[in-house]
Amino acid sequence: MARIRFENVNKKYANGFHAVKDLNLDIQDEEFVVLLGPSGCGKSTTLNMIAGLEEVTDGALIFDDQMVNYMPPHRRDVAMVFQSYALYPHKTIFDNIAFGLQMRKQSKEEIERRVRNAARRLEIEHMLDRRPGQLSGGQRQRVALGRAMVRDPAVFLMDEPLSNLDAALRVSMRAEIKELHQEMQTTFVYVTHDQAEALTLADRIVVMSDGIVQQVGTPDEIYEHPANTFVASFLGSPPMNYIDGEIEIEGEDRALFRHDSVTLRLPENLSRKLNTDSGHRVRLGIRAEDVDEKGEVVEGQIIRGTVNSVLPVGSDQFLGMAFGDDELFFRVGKDLRHKTGENVTLAVDVSRLHFFDAATGKSLVA
Protein backbone atom coordinates (compact mmCIF):
# COMPACT_ATOMS: atom_id res chain seq x y z
CA MET A 1 0.00 0.00 0.00
CA ALA A 2 1.30 3.46 -0.85
CA ARG A 3 -0.98 6.42 -0.61
CA ILE A 4 1.00 9.69 -0.58
CA ARG A 5 -0.36 12.94 0.83
CA PHE A 6 1.10 16.42 0.85
CA GLU A 7 -0.53 18.69 3.42
CA ASN A 8 0.48 22.37 3.06
CA VAL A 9 4.01 21.32 2.12
CA ASN A 10 6.63 23.98 1.40
CA LYS A 11 10.22 23.69 0.29
CA LYS A 12 12.48 26.69 0.89
CA TYR A 13 16.25 26.83 0.43
CA ALA A 14 18.81 28.70 2.51
CA ASN A 15 19.25 31.28 -0.26
CA GLY A 16 15.57 32.20 0.07
CA PHE A 17 14.33 30.39 -3.04
CA HIS A 18 10.80 29.05 -2.47
CA ALA A 19 10.68 25.99 -4.71
CA VAL A 20 7.33 24.46 -3.66
CA LYS A 21 4.51 26.53 -2.18
CA ASP A 22 1.65 25.23 -0.02
CA LEU A 23 1.36 21.93 -1.86
CA ASN A 24 -1.78 19.92 -1.13
CA LEU A 25 -1.98 16.70 -3.11
CA ASP A 26 -3.43 13.24 -2.50
CA ILE A 27 -1.90 10.43 -4.60
CA GLN A 28 -3.91 7.24 -4.30
CA ASP A 29 -2.48 3.75 -3.92
CA GLU A 30 -1.58 2.21 -7.34
CA GLU A 31 -2.27 5.50 -9.12
CA PHE A 32 -0.04 6.78 -11.95
CA VAL A 33 0.43 10.52 -11.32
CA VAL A 34 2.47 12.75 -13.61
CA LEU A 35 3.96 16.02 -12.37
CA LEU A 36 4.04 18.28 -15.44
CA GLY A 37 5.49 21.73 -15.95
CA PRO A 38 8.41 23.76 -17.31
CA SER A 39 11.93 23.70 -15.92
CA GLY A 40 12.11 25.24 -12.44
CA CYS A 41 8.42 24.77 -11.63
CA GLY A 42 9.07 22.54 -8.58
CA LYS A 43 8.13 19.14 -9.98
CA SER A 44 11.53 17.45 -9.45
CA THR A 45 11.79 19.00 -5.99
CA THR A 46 8.39 17.48 -5.17
CA LEU A 47 9.57 14.07 -6.39
CA ASN A 48 12.78 14.37 -4.37
CA MET A 49 10.79 15.13 -1.21
CA ILE A 50 8.88 11.87 -1.73
CA ALA A 51 12.19 10.03 -2.15
CA GLY A 52 13.69 11.70 0.93
CA LEU A 53 16.43 13.37 -1.11
CA GLU A 54 15.05 16.81 -0.16
CA GLU A 55 13.75 17.77 3.27
CA VAL A 56 10.28 19.23 3.76
CA THR A 57 10.62 22.78 5.10
CA ASP A 58 7.15 22.81 6.62
CA GLY A 59 3.88 20.95 6.25
CA ALA A 60 3.39 17.19 6.35
CA LEU A 61 4.34 14.46 3.89
CA ILE A 62 2.38 11.31 4.71
CA PHE A 63 2.73 7.74 3.41
CA ASP A 64 -0.52 5.93 4.17
CA ASP A 65 -1.03 7.07 7.80
CA GLN A 66 2.59 7.79 8.71
CA MET A 67 4.31 11.17 8.46
CA VAL A 68 7.69 10.64 6.79
CA ASN A 69 9.17 14.17 6.92
CA TYR A 70 12.18 12.91 8.89
CA MET A 71 12.30 9.32 7.69
CA PRO A 72 15.58 8.51 5.85
CA PRO A 73 15.32 7.48 2.16
CA HIS A 74 16.28 3.83 2.72
CA ARG A 75 13.26 3.29 4.99
CA ARG A 76 10.65 4.74 2.64
CA ASP A 77 10.29 1.71 0.34
CA VAL A 78 10.63 3.80 -2.81
CA ALA A 79 12.63 3.15 -5.98
CA MET A 80 13.77 5.93 -8.29
CA VAL A 81 14.72 6.04 -11.96
CA PHE A 82 16.85 9.05 -12.88
CA GLN A 83 17.19 10.94 -16.13
CA SER A 84 20.90 10.01 -16.30
CA TYR A 85 20.21 6.27 -15.60
CA ALA A 86 22.98 6.40 -12.91
CA LEU A 87 24.48 3.02 -13.85
CA TYR A 88 27.88 1.80 -12.66
CA PRO A 89 30.04 1.63 -15.82
CA HIS A 90 32.46 -0.94 -14.39
CA LYS A 91 29.74 -3.39 -13.31
CA THR A 92 27.89 -5.87 -15.50
CA ILE A 93 24.21 -5.35 -16.26
CA PHE A 94 23.43 -8.17 -13.83
CA ASP A 95 25.34 -6.46 -11.02
CA ASN A 96 23.81 -3.08 -11.82
CA ILE A 97 20.32 -4.51 -11.49
CA ALA A 98 21.28 -6.54 -8.41
CA PHE A 99 23.09 -3.73 -6.59
CA GLY A 100 20.23 -2.67 -4.32
CA LEU A 101 19.45 -6.26 -3.39
CA GLN A 102 23.11 -6.93 -2.62
CA MET A 103 23.18 -3.92 -0.30
CA ARG A 104 20.18 -5.38 1.50
CA LYS A 105 22.01 -8.68 1.98
CA GLN A 106 19.50 -10.72 -0.01
CA SER A 107 20.48 -14.34 -0.67
CA LYS A 108 22.25 -15.17 -3.92
CA GLU A 109 19.34 -17.35 -4.97
CA GLU A 110 16.79 -14.58 -4.38
CA ILE A 111 18.96 -12.04 -6.21
CA GLU A 112 19.35 -14.40 -9.16
CA ARG A 113 15.61 -15.03 -9.33
CA ARG A 114 14.61 -11.37 -9.13
CA VAL A 115 17.23 -10.09 -11.57
CA ARG A 116 16.46 -12.70 -14.20
CA ASN A 117 12.72 -12.20 -13.81
CA ALA A 118 13.06 -8.43 -14.30
CA ALA A 119 15.47 -8.87 -17.21
CA ARG A 120 13.07 -11.29 -18.88
CA ARG A 121 10.15 -8.86 -18.54
CA LEU A 122 12.27 -6.05 -19.98
CA GLU A 123 13.76 -8.25 -22.75
CA ILE A 124 17.37 -7.68 -21.68
CA GLU A 125 18.13 -11.15 -20.30
CA HIS A 126 20.68 -11.79 -23.06
CA MET A 127 22.61 -8.63 -22.03
CA LEU A 128 23.26 -9.43 -18.37
CA ASP A 129 26.97 -10.10 -18.92
CA ARG A 130 27.56 -6.83 -20.77
CA ARG A 131 28.48 -3.44 -19.35
CA PRO A 132 26.50 -0.17 -19.74
CA GLY A 133 28.95 1.22 -22.32
CA GLN A 134 28.00 -1.62 -24.68
CA LEU A 135 24.29 -0.75 -24.59
CA SER A 136 22.15 1.78 -26.43
CA GLY A 137 20.28 4.53 -24.59
CA GLY A 138 17.04 2.58 -24.66
CA GLN A 139 18.73 -0.54 -23.34
CA ARG A 140 20.38 1.41 -20.51
CA GLN A 141 16.96 2.84 -19.64
CA ARG A 142 15.61 -0.70 -19.34
CA VAL A 143 18.47 -1.58 -17.00
CA ALA A 144 17.59 1.42 -14.81
CA LEU A 145 13.96 0.27 -14.76
CA GLY A 146 15.03 -3.27 -13.90
CA ARG A 147 17.17 -2.07 -10.98
CA ALA A 148 14.08 -0.34 -9.55
CA MET A 149 11.73 -3.25 -10.30
CA VAL A 150 13.70 -5.92 -8.43
CA ARG A 151 13.23 -4.04 -5.17
CA ASP A 152 9.45 -4.48 -5.50
CA PRO A 153 8.90 -0.98 -4.08
CA ALA A 154 5.68 0.49 -2.75
CA VAL A 155 6.36 3.68 -4.73
CA PHE A 156 8.03 3.96 -8.13
CA LEU A 157 9.53 7.41 -8.84
CA MET A 158 10.70 8.54 -12.29
CA ASP A 159 12.44 11.84 -13.04
CA GLU A 160 12.42 12.67 -16.79
CA PRO A 161 13.45 9.07 -17.59
CA LEU A 162 12.95 9.34 -21.36
CA SER A 163 14.39 12.77 -22.09
CA ASN A 164 17.71 11.37 -23.39
CA LEU A 165 16.07 9.07 -25.94
CA ASP A 166 15.20 9.80 -29.56
CA ALA A 167 11.58 10.48 -30.52
CA ALA A 168 10.74 6.99 -31.82
CA LEU A 169 12.25 5.26 -28.81
CA ARG A 170 10.41 7.57 -26.40
CA VAL A 171 7.10 6.43 -27.91
CA SER A 172 7.88 2.73 -27.47
CA MET A 173 9.25 3.25 -23.94
CA ARG A 174 6.07 5.08 -22.91
CA ALA A 175 4.09 1.98 -23.84
CA GLU A 176 6.50 -0.22 -21.85
CA ILE A 177 6.26 1.99 -18.77
CA LYS A 178 2.46 1.98 -18.98
CA GLU A 179 2.46 -1.83 -19.19
CA LEU A 180 4.93 -2.00 -16.31
CA HIS A 181 2.58 0.03 -14.10
CA GLN A 182 -0.35 -2.21 -14.96
CA GLU A 183 1.69 -5.33 -14.16
CA MET A 184 3.25 -4.07 -10.93
CA GLN A 185 0.09 -2.45 -9.52
CA THR A 186 2.28 0.01 -7.64
CA THR A 187 2.02 3.76 -7.10
CA PHE A 188 3.93 5.60 -9.84
CA VAL A 189 4.95 9.28 -9.63
CA TYR A 190 6.50 10.52 -12.85
CA VAL A 191 8.10 13.90 -13.63
CA THR A 192 8.20 15.36 -17.13
CA HIS A 193 7.97 18.59 -19.11
CA ASP A 194 6.67 16.63 -22.13
CA GLN A 195 2.91 16.96 -22.49
CA ALA A 196 2.69 13.91 -24.77
CA GLU A 197 4.21 11.73 -22.03
CA ALA A 198 1.81 13.16 -19.46
CA LEU A 199 -1.29 12.66 -21.62
CA THR A 200 -0.22 9.13 -22.60
CA LEU A 201 0.80 7.78 -19.19
CA ALA A 202 -1.13 9.51 -16.43
CA ASP A 203 -4.21 8.52 -14.50
CA ARG A 204 -4.01 12.12 -13.24
CA ILE A 205 -1.81 15.05 -14.17
CA VAL A 206 -0.56 17.69 -11.74
CA VAL A 207 0.33 20.85 -13.66
CA MET A 208 2.81 23.08 -11.82
CA SER A 209 4.22 26.56 -12.39
CA ASP A 210 6.53 28.57 -10.13
CA GLY A 211 6.15 26.04 -7.31
CA ILE A 212 2.34 26.23 -7.33
CA VAL A 213 -0.14 23.58 -8.49
CA GLN A 214 -2.22 25.08 -11.28
CA GLN A 215 -4.59 22.16 -11.83
CA VAL A 216 -5.02 18.48 -10.97
CA GLY A 217 -7.15 16.19 -13.09
CA THR A 218 -7.34 13.37 -15.60
CA PRO A 219 -5.72 13.98 -18.99
CA ASP A 220 -9.15 14.65 -20.50
CA GLU A 221 -10.11 17.09 -17.74
CA ILE A 222 -6.85 19.00 -18.03
CA TYR A 223 -7.01 19.20 -21.82
CA GLU A 224 -10.72 19.84 -22.25
CA HIS A 225 -11.30 22.08 -19.21
CA PRO A 226 -8.07 23.97 -18.41
CA ALA A 227 -8.27 26.03 -15.22
CA ASN A 228 -6.31 28.96 -16.64
CA THR A 229 -4.34 30.17 -19.65
CA PHE A 230 -1.09 28.65 -18.34
CA VAL A 231 -2.58 25.15 -18.32
CA ALA A 232 -4.36 25.73 -21.63
CA SER A 233 -1.12 26.84 -23.29
CA PHE A 234 1.06 24.11 -21.79
CA LEU A 235 -1.07 21.27 -23.14
CA GLY A 236 -1.67 21.19 -26.86
CA SER A 237 0.54 21.25 -29.93
CA PRO A 238 0.61 23.89 -31.20
CA PRO A 239 -0.44 25.82 -28.08
CA MET A 240 -3.95 27.20 -27.80
CA ASN A 241 -4.72 30.29 -29.89
CA TYR A 242 -5.92 33.40 -28.06
CA ILE A 243 -8.02 36.36 -29.19
CA ASP A 244 -8.78 39.21 -26.78
CA GLY A 245 -12.26 40.70 -26.91
CA GLU A 246 -15.39 41.10 -24.82
CA ILE A 247 -18.59 39.26 -24.03
CA GLU A 248 -21.99 40.61 -24.97
CA ILE A 249 -24.94 39.06 -23.14
CA GLU A 250 -28.14 39.03 -25.24
CA GLY A 251 -30.31 36.97 -22.93
CA GLU A 252 -30.25 34.22 -20.34
CA ASP A 253 -29.00 31.62 -22.84
CA ARG A 254 -27.53 33.86 -25.54
CA ALA A 255 -24.09 35.44 -25.63
CA LEU A 256 -21.65 36.75 -28.21
CA PHE A 257 -17.89 37.14 -28.29
CA ARG A 258 -16.90 40.34 -30.05
CA HIS A 259 -13.54 41.38 -31.48
CA ASP A 260 -12.72 43.99 -34.10
CA SER A 261 -12.41 41.30 -36.77
CA VAL A 262 -14.76 38.57 -35.64
CA THR A 263 -18.07 37.97 -33.87
CA LEU A 264 -18.82 34.48 -32.59
CA ARG A 265 -22.25 33.39 -31.36
CA LEU A 266 -22.00 31.01 -28.42
CA PRO A 267 -24.25 27.95 -28.13
CA GLU A 268 -26.84 27.93 -25.34
CA ASN A 269 -25.04 25.44 -23.09
CA LEU A 270 -21.80 27.46 -23.23
CA SER A 271 -23.66 30.74 -22.73
CA ARG A 272 -25.24 29.36 -19.56
CA LYS A 273 -21.89 28.16 -18.20
CA LEU A 274 -20.09 31.44 -18.88
CA ASN A 275 -19.44 33.12 -15.57
CA THR A 276 -19.16 36.78 -16.61
CA ASP A 277 -21.12 39.93 -17.33
CA SER A 278 -21.78 41.80 -20.54
CA GLY A 279 -18.86 44.00 -21.56
CA HIS A 280 -16.32 41.97 -19.60
CA ARG A 281 -12.88 41.75 -21.23
CA VAL A 282 -12.06 38.13 -21.94
CA ARG A 283 -9.47 36.03 -23.69
CA LEU A 284 -10.98 33.57 -26.14
CA GLY A 285 -9.09 30.29 -26.58
CA ILE A 286 -9.38 28.15 -29.72
CA ARG A 287 -7.45 24.92 -30.07
CA ALA A 288 -5.78 24.24 -33.41
CA GLU A 289 -7.98 21.24 -34.18
CA ASP A 290 -11.32 22.93 -33.43
CA VAL A 291 -11.80 24.42 -36.90
CA ASP A 292 -12.84 22.91 -40.22
CA GLU A 293 -12.17 24.44 -43.61
CA LYS A 294 -14.75 22.14 -45.20
CA GLY A 295 -17.38 22.87 -42.57
CA GLU A 296 -20.59 24.77 -43.21
CA VAL A 297 -20.02 28.53 -43.36
CA VAL A 298 -22.47 30.03 -40.85
CA GLU A 299 -22.16 33.65 -39.72
CA GLY A 300 -21.24 33.76 -36.07
CA GLN A 301 -19.33 30.48 -36.38
CA ILE A 302 -16.43 31.41 -38.69
CA ILE A 303 -13.03 33.05 -38.56
CA ARG A 304 -11.27 34.67 -41.52
CA GLY A 305 -7.59 35.41 -41.93
CA THR A 306 -4.61 35.57 -44.28
CA VAL A 307 -2.22 32.64 -44.57
CA ASN A 308 1.23 33.55 -43.24
CA SER A 309 2.75 30.08 -43.30
CA VAL A 310 1.98 26.48 -44.22
CA LEU A 311 3.65 23.83 -42.05
CA PRO A 312 3.19 20.18 -43.19
CA VAL A 313 3.48 17.62 -40.37
CA GLY A 314 2.79 14.39 -42.25
CA SER A 315 -0.80 13.45 -41.47
CA ASP A 316 -1.89 17.10 -41.20
CA GLN A 317 -0.67 20.60 -41.86
CA PHE A 318 -0.74 23.73 -39.75
CA LEU A 319 -1.84 27.05 -41.18
CA GLY A 320 -0.33 30.16 -39.64
CA MET A 321 -2.97 32.86 -40.11
CA ALA A 322 -2.56 36.59 -39.67
CA PHE A 323 -5.33 37.87 -37.44
CA GLY A 324 -4.89 41.53 -36.62
CA ASP A 325 -1.51 41.83 -34.91
CA ASP A 326 -1.51 38.16 -33.92
CA GLU A 327 -0.72 34.91 -35.72
CA LEU A 328 -3.01 31.96 -35.07
CA PHE A 329 -2.20 28.34 -35.90
CA PHE A 330 -4.83 25.84 -37.03
CA ARG A 331 -4.66 22.18 -38.03
CA VAL A 332 -6.22 21.30 -41.40
CA GLY A 333 -6.11 18.24 -43.64
CA LYS A 334 -2.97 17.43 -45.60
CA ASP A 335 -4.96 17.31 -48.86
CA LEU A 336 -5.73 21.06 -48.72
CA ARG A 337 -3.39 23.26 -50.70
CA HIS A 338 -2.74 26.83 -49.55
CA LYS A 339 -0.26 29.54 -50.37
CA THR A 340 1.00 32.40 -48.26
CA GLY A 341 -1.02 35.56 -48.78
CA GLU A 342 -4.20 33.60 -49.47
CA ASN A 343 -7.40 34.52 -47.61
CA VAL A 344 -9.14 31.60 -45.92
CA THR A 345 -12.39 31.08 -44.02
CA LEU A 346 -12.55 28.44 -41.29
CA ALA A 347 -15.68 27.09 -39.60
CA VAL A 348 -15.24 27.18 -35.82
CA ASP A 349 -16.64 24.53 -33.48
CA VAL A 350 -18.16 27.09 -31.12
CA SER A 351 -19.14 24.38 -28.62
CA ARG A 352 -15.43 23.85 -27.88
CA LEU A 353 -14.41 27.47 -27.27
CA HIS A 354 -12.59 28.39 -24.05
CA PHE A 355 -12.94 31.69 -22.18
CA PHE A 356 -10.55 33.18 -19.65
CA ASP A 357 -10.51 36.40 -17.67
CA ALA A 358 -8.29 38.84 -19.59
CA ALA A 359 -6.72 40.14 -16.37
CA THR A 360 -6.24 36.99 -14.25
CA GLY A 361 -6.12 34.25 -16.90
CA LYS A 362 -8.60 32.13 -14.93
CA SER A 363 -11.26 30.11 -16.74
CA LEU A 364 -14.70 31.74 -16.94
CA VAL A 365 -16.53 28.55 -17.84
CA ALA A 366 -18.16 26.93 -14.82
- What's the rounded Cα separation, in Å, for the pair 114 and 111? 5
Q: What is the pLDDT of residue 167?
A: 82
Residue 346's pLDDT is 92
Q: Quick one: pLDDT band at residue 282, thresholds 50, 70, 90?
A: very high
Q: Which of 152, 51, 49 is nearest to 97 (CA)?
A: 152
Residue 366: predicted pLDDT: 67
Instruction: Read off the pLDDT of residues 52-72 as tens digits, 9 standing for 90 and up.
Output: 999 999 999 999 999 999 999
Q: State the pairing for strand pair 343-348/281-286.
A: unpaired
Angle between the N-to-C axes of helices 108-121 and 93-103, in degrees from 0 to 180, rounded to the nearest 10: 130
Write down the pLDDT at residue 105. Answer: 86
Strands 281-286 and 241-251, sheet pairing: antiparallel
How far is residue 151 CA from its own chain's centroid?
A: 27
Residue spans per domain, the chain: 4-234, 241-357
Strands 18-27, 326-333: pairing is: unpaired
Eight-class DSSP state of 228: B
Average pLDDT for the chain: 91
Q: 22-26, 215-219, 301-305: which has the minimum mean pLDDT? A: 301-305
pLDDT > 70 in the chain, percent: 99
Handedness of CA 347, 350, 352, 354 (dihedral sign): positive
Binned at pLDDT 50, 70 and 90, residue 252 comes out as: confident
Nearest to 336 by CA among 344, 325, 327: 344
pLDDT at residue 1, rounded to an integer: 60
Would strands 204-209 and 32-36 be described as parallel, antiparallel, or unpaired? parallel
- Residue-wise pLDDT for 296-306, tens only, equals 778 889 999 89
Tell me which residue of 342, 366, 349 sits closest to 301, measured CA to CA. 349
pLDDT tens across 65-94, in order? 999 999 999 899 999 988 777 889 999 999
Domain 241-357 = CATH 3.30.1130.10? no
Which CATH number is 4-234 given?
A: 3.40.50.300
